[in-house]
């Protein structure tokens, strides 16, 4: 079984590779998210801060706005938040095999294979 820190490290490597392949991304992964075993045990944080990326996800999940997150964590820039969400979106879409960035409501749901 993969340790959580190892899973995050692989995700960071995958994100870096994706960014290197992307055209037009103004921020590199180093300017968005960093992970160091000596800082918060390797938890991914916004680069140059001690703010875990998970804090952003938790705030959004609770219904908070990006503006509220930024006011609560002033060391994080709006550009970092937007870039991190873009990277997470692309990773999620690639993970589920959608192969498209079309809005979810425009995609046809998978067929049902039995009773639920």
d(CA 43, CA 35): 6
Question: What does pTM read for this prediction?
Answer: 0.59
Q: Using one digit for the tens of pLDDT, what is the confidence trace for 13-45?
A: 555 555 455 444 456 666 789 999 999 999 999
Domains in the chain: boundaries? 4-99
pLDDT at 22: 47
Is-contact 47 34, C-beta < 8 A? yes
d(CA 48, CA 97): 32
pLDDT at 23: 43
pLDDT at 116: 46
CATH 1.10.10.10 applies to domain 4-99: yes
Q: Using one digit for the tens of pLDDT, what is the confidence trace for 64-105?
A: 999 999 999 999 999 999 999 998 888 888 766 655 555 555
Query: Which phi and psi (to 5°) does residue 39 adopt?
Result: -120, 115
104 C-beta neighbours (distance < 10 Å), count: 8
């Amino acid at each position: 079984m993969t340790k959580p820190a190892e899973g995050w490290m692989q995700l960071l490597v995958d994100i870096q590779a994706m960014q290197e392949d992307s055209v037009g991304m103004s921020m590199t992964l180093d300017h968005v998210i960093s992970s160091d075993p000596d800082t918060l045990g390797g938890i991914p944080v916004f680069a140059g801060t001690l703010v875990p990326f998970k804090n952003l996800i938790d705030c959004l999940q609770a219904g908070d706005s990006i503006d509220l997150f930024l006011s609560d964590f002033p060391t994080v820039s709006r550009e970092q938040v937007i870039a991190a969400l873009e990277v997470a979106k692309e990773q999620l879409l690639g993970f589920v095999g959608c192969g498209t960035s079309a809005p979810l409501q425009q995609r046809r749901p998978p067929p049902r294979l039995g009773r639920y």
